[in-house]
Amino acid sequence: MKINLILFNVLVALILQNVSVDGFEIAKNNKSSCILVLSNDASEPEKKAAEELKKVLQEITSSQFLITNSLPLDQTPAIIIGQGEISKMLFPGIMWETLGSEEIIIQTKKHYLLIAGGRPRGTLYSVSHFLQAYCGVRWWTPWATTIPKKATLYVNNINIQKNPAFEYREPFWAPAFNREWAWHNFCNGQSHRLDDASGGCIKYKGFVHTFYSLVPPEKYFNEHPEWFSMKNGQRTYKNAQLCLSNKELRDFVVAQVKQWIKESPDSTIVSVSQNDWFGACECPQCKAFADKEGSQSGILIDFVNYIAEKIEAEHPSILIDTLAYLYTRKPPKTIRPRHNVIVRLCSIECNFSEPLFQRSNNSFANDIREWSKICNRLYIWDYTTDFQCYVQPHPNYYVLGPNIRFFRDHNVKGVFEQGAYQSHGAEMAELRAWLLAQLLWDPNQDDKKLIKEFLDGYYGAKASKFLQQYLNLMSDAASGFYMTCFASDNAPYLQFNIIRESEILLQRAELAVANDPEKLWRVRQAHLPVYTIWLKKWNAFQQECFKSQKTWPLSTSRKAVAQIWLDLATNSGPQGWQPMTHVNESGLTPIDFIKPFMSDPPFFANRKSSVPRSNPLSHINPRIKKSCIILQDTEATLTKEGEWIQIVFDAEASDQLAAQMPGTHTQWAFQVPGSKMPKAAAEKEWAIYVISKIDPKPECPVSQPAIEIGLYDELLKKTVIARTFKVGEFGPGYRLMHVGNAKTTKTTTIWAAPTGSPLIKTVSIDAIILLPPSFVNSL
């Protein structure tokens, strides 16, 4: 009876629709113009999709919408949701039975608008796509959504049917782990916590590096050492792998995989993948196989193929996942992964300042091209953050789109984009999570337009232009630099001039939204990475600011800046955001990161430069000076800066800066290694001089040793020359002191240390002078 009633309703509605309709009206003047129709046989995700569509349309139009399970008898327009009985009757031309699990369909037909898709997730994605593409809705973050207000909502005729570009899409960033945000942005990885009502997700059993999870060495090594790597002729499990040619081991792993499947019946992928280090087996059988295939991936794929073949009859829908990573990254010559094997190719060695297909990444680009020819299911494990410090700038913003299109163009089926996954607060985390999700769904989108759209929508148009300039500045500064996912603090985009300009831009962005508390909080979070670099390089930046005669652009109190950083990182924020817990992947906490910066060292950056009252270099003959090598204090390596030594402003010094040490310790806190000296200093005999001064207490005797200076040879493991200067050898101001003659090489280091006397307040070094010995008597 139910089917007959539905047929009757359909026939009546079709008869009454005797005119062609151009487009579809959803609401007019804050009054709904249609109803929402959901079949009685709708799935749970389709019911969720219908409720979400109703809720958001009501927010947009300020009108009420009804969800019903049958078509009206009159000509009331209807939005048909999901692929139930009604949809199949009204849209018989769609091949409903062959729809992909995430395929979306949006069609207008006379008085109907169909929003449906494959099961389980297609209709959810179809609703999300419709609300974004045709209604202007954006789910930027779990705590920030844009829902425009429109009294009248009308869409032109639509005819869309498409699948996502990738079957597996996992932006592995903390903001992406929210369930509602994830399905709205088309994510389907297991980190997105999608329950059955949200369409579920692609689930792994054993996500990665599972060799020792499958074969725990503490349980099996003593009994079966032959199952583990042979290294240097000995079986070992330390920093090792499995002996992949061992037949008994292979059958054991098959049994383990079957047990894993039994334990996790909802998983569709089982990881059988190498440990997170090198240590491939060097036994004759493994080595011969690897040599024949030209890569360690050969024996690995043979091993994984064996597992995949043995489980297929019992578990035909299960896929076996392995890695092409580090020593297995190169594809094999002849062996091919089975149809039920996933190979995840990892980009960890790559330069992330430019697209993966450009010159510096040729090796990886060639690997993906070759794997794509032989692998039916090629996945990518990509890296999109700086694991050394999640919070500092990592300007890969404009390579994410080109990279994802490169993956799409080379038959990649799934992409895992590893980012700052351990906590919120990472640099541009919100932008990257949203941008990656959008591009993994549809790589044809213009990534630069998406970035601008996010900046406008999330931070506000007034602040957006400054943030766009900041991203451009960072990206331009990274050009030509080999930026890994463990980037150096000395990267070109982390230098003083770039950070100073960034600071000014971010201050302007904050000012632009000063009257909008929500957007101001967001912009201040974007400011956090720049504060991070100020704190990490405070003393060096002071020196550069002083030398360049530029204005220091933020507080002169490092402690104050550190407190701002800590408050931004750890104070409460909007609902859905959580305070930062990890500064880097190793687990550095915000409290531990900030501790060294919660004090104020001497500040001199805003002092005006002037000629020293008595320049210690002024009396050196200009002809002799041309033959000297002058190593300023700021070129030295400083140990425990702020405790054992610090750079201070000193008007008497030749460059008005001095390396100052308290007299109470004996550490070699001042060092100039040969590797930091000019090439002209290498492999030559020099008379070594130091320009130094001391500040003794009034009761200090002239016989008191004040400072010791020497040259140490790392290769010989001994001090070549050393001299201790007493208080009586100094007068007021700086003195030029002869340490001795010695040869400097790449393995020698000039060092200086106080003598540990409580009678010496400070010792200061202005410069080291290397003088050709023949000129000594001319000084």
- Give the pLDDT confidence score for residue 610 in this predicted structure: 63
Specify which residues 726 forms β-bridges with.
705
Measured distance between the N- and C-terminal CA atoms of the chain, rounded to whole angstroms:
113
- Region 15-31: mean pLDDT is 73
Q: Which residues of 361-398 are buried (b: 16+ CB within 10 A; e: fewer)?
A: beebbebbebbbebbebbbbbbbbbbbbbbbbbbbbbb
- Give the pLDDT confidence score for residue 626 in this predicted structure: 80
The string of pLDDT tens digits covering residues 148-168 is: 999 999 999 999 999 999 999
Q: Pairing relation of β-strands 35-38 and 67-68? A: parallel
Specify which residues 271 forms β-bridges with.
321
Q: Are 439 and 400 in contact (CB under 8 A)?
A: yes
Q: Are 149 and 115 in contact (CB under 8 A)?
A: no
Long-range contacts of 479-485 (CB under 8 A, 24+ apart): 479/353, 479/354, 480/353, 481/353, 482/351, 482/353, 482/360, 483/351, 483/352, 483/353, 483/394, 483/395, 483/396, 484/349, 484/350, 484/351, 484/352, 485/348, 485/352, 485/383, 485/384, 485/385, 485/386, 485/387
Cβ neighbours of residue 636 closer than 8 Å, sequence gap 6 or more: 659, 670, 671, 672, 676, 765, 768
DSSP 8-state class, residue 749: E
pLDDT at 758 over 70: yes
Q: Are 62 and 150 in contact (CB under 8 A)?
A: no
Domain ranges of the chain: 2-163, 204-317, 471-597, 622-778
- Give the pLDDT confidence score for residue 366 in this predicted structure: 98
Q: Are 471 and 517 in contact (CB under 8 A)?
A: no
Q: Are 646 and 654 in contact (CB under 8 A)?
A: no
The string of pLDDT tens digits covering residues 260-277 is: 999 999 999 999 999 999
pLDDT at 611 over 70: no
> Could you tell me which CATH number the domain at 2-163 has?
3.30.379.10
The string of pLDDT tens digits covering residues 544-585 is: 999 899 999 999 999 999 999 999 999 999 999 999 999 999
- Region 219-247: mean pLDDT is 98
Residue 563 to residue 419: CA distance in whole angstroms: 26
Cβ neighbours of residue 355 closer than 8 Å, sequence gap 6 or more: 361, 399, 402, 403, 406
- pLDDT-based confidence at residue 523 (cuts at 50, 70, 90): very high
The string of pLDDT tens digits covering residues 424-478 is: 999 999 999 999 999 999 999 999 999 999 999 999 999 999 999 999 999 999 9
- Give the pLDDT confidence score for residue 6 in this predicted structure: 47
The string of pLDDT tens digits covering residues 283-331 is: 999 999 999 999 999 999 999 999 999 999 999 999 999 999 999 999 9
The string of pLDDT tens digits covering residues 329-361 is: 999 999 999 999 999 999 999 999 999 999 999
Report which residue type is found at 19. Answer: V
Per-chain mean pLDDT for the chain: 94
Specify which residues 31 forms β-bridges with.
28
pLDDT at 506 over 80: yes
pLDDT at 66 over 60: yes
Tell me the CA distances in angstroms from 95 to 112, 130, 518, 773, one per residue in order.
18, 21, 46, 91
Percent with pLDDT over 70 in the chain: 96
CATH top-level class of 622-778 = mainly beta
pLDDT at 775 over 50: yes
The string of pLDDT tens digits covering residues 657-707 is: 999 999 999 999 999 999 889 988 888 999 999 999 999 999 999 999 999
- Give the pLDDT confidence score for residue 3 in this predicted structure: 44
- Give the pLDDT confidence score for residue 627 in this predicted structure: 83
Closest CA to 709 of 650, 754, 756, 654: 754
- Give the pLDDT confidence score for residue 11 in this predicted structure: 45
Angle at CA of residue 75, ends 72 and 78, nearest 5°: 60
Closest CA to 231 of 371, 327, 128: 327
